[in-house]
């Protein structure tokens, strides 16, 4: 099933700007903290900063003394810039998303065996929320994880898993796909870790034999492919998004191998 895209035909998509109370008013709400003491001077600094950002009629709607010479602001302002929405091209995973039941039926009709998916949050990253949202039976926000999918054996290795250990587990389980979650991304540590994983898989001779997928708040499909992964899923991705891609990609590869 695919989500319908609703386009407002009353909008000039070549000149899109923020919407607040009325169309094209450009109203924006923004929050930030300045390293200055609370007071009228701080508010004036915040408004001047908004003007330098290109906002007209900047207004402080809320400010709070954070202590230690810091002040927090909630600001309003009018954006005068527009963007040509029709010219935007985004590299993204192109797949018709199936729900859990449809994925199960797809496996039964097209793969006819158990699909093995091994997942982990790798490197020094100690967060399990991302990989659990995709893998665990309870999933996240009403979207059940892969453990609940009939026909999929989901092996969740948790967090802080060394790349070498993940690869060894994938080989042991004869995995069809490896899922990598990266939450901690300070100083681009996720890029170094993901690059290392690809290099180790190539050294083991299994890179072309396994579907390699990554996900996380700062992950995009474009970045994933640049680093040698097959697909990348960013924020607001769920188990059905990942499952739909892995299953259809698996069938596609199997058909190509039979030719």
pLDDT digits (tens, 9 = 90+) for 5-44: 666 767 899 999 999 989 999 999 999 999 999 999 999 9
**Could you tell me the domains of the chain?**
9-88 (3.30.30.60), 100-258 (3.40.50.280)
**pLDDT tops 80 at residue 81:** yes
What mean pLDDT is predicted for residues 81-91? 90
Q: How far, in Å, CA of 257 to CA of 259, rounded? A: 6
Contacts of 41 (CB under 8 A, 6+ apart): none
Q: Which of 64, 138, 174, 255 is catalytic?
A: 138
**pLDDT tops 70 at residue 97:** yes
**pLDDT tops 50 at residue 2:** no
Place of tokens 């009709």: 109
- The sign of the dihedral angle between the CA atoms of 99, 104, 109, 111 is positive
Each residue's pLDDT tens digit, 195-252: 999 999 999 999 999 999 999 888 899 999 999 999 999 888 999 999 999 999 999 9
Contacts of 51 (CB under 8 A, 6+ apart): 58
112 phi, psi to nearest 5 deg: 60, 30
Characterise 229 by phi-psi region: left (phi > 0), alpha (psi -120 to 50), beta (else).
beta
Q: What DSSP string describes 96-113?
A: PPP-HHHHHHHIIIII-S
- How confident is residue 1, by pLDDT bands cut at 50, 70 and 90? very low
pTM: 0.74
Catalytic residue at 51? Answer: no
pLDDT of residue 164: 97
């Amino acid at each position: 099933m695919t989500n319908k895209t609703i386009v407002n035909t009353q909008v000039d998509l070549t000149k899109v700007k923020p919407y607040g109370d009325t169309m094209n008013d450009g109203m924006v709400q923004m929050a930030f903290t300045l390293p200055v003491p609370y007071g009228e001077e701080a508010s004036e600094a915040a408004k001047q900063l908004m003007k330098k950002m290109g906002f007209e009629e900047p207004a402080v709607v809320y400010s709070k003394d954070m202590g230690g010479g810091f002040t927090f602001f909630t600001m309003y302002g009018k954006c005068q810039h527009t963007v040509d929405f029709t010219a935007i091209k985004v590299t993204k995973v192109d797949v018709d998303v199936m729900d859990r039941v449809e994925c199960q039926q797809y496996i039964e009709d097209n793969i006819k065996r158990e699909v093995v998916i091994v997942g982990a949050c790798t490197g020094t990253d100690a967060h399990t929320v991302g990989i659990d949202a995709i893998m665990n039976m309870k999933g996240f926000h009403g979207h059940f994880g892969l453990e609940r999918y009939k026909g999929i054996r989901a092996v969740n290795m948790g967090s802080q898993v060394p790349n070498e250990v993940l690869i060894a587990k994938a080989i042991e389980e004869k995995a069809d796909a490896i899922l990598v979650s990266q939450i901690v991304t300070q100083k681009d540590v996720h890029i170094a870790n993901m690059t290392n994983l690809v290099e180790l898989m190539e050294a083991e001779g299994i890179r072309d034999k396994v579907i390699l997928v990554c996900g996380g708040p700062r992950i995009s499909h474009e970045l994933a492919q640049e680093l040698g992964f097959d697909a990348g899923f960013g924020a607001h991705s769920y188990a059905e998004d990942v499952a739909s891609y892995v299953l259809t990609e698996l069938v596609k590869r199997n058909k190509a191998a039979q030719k």
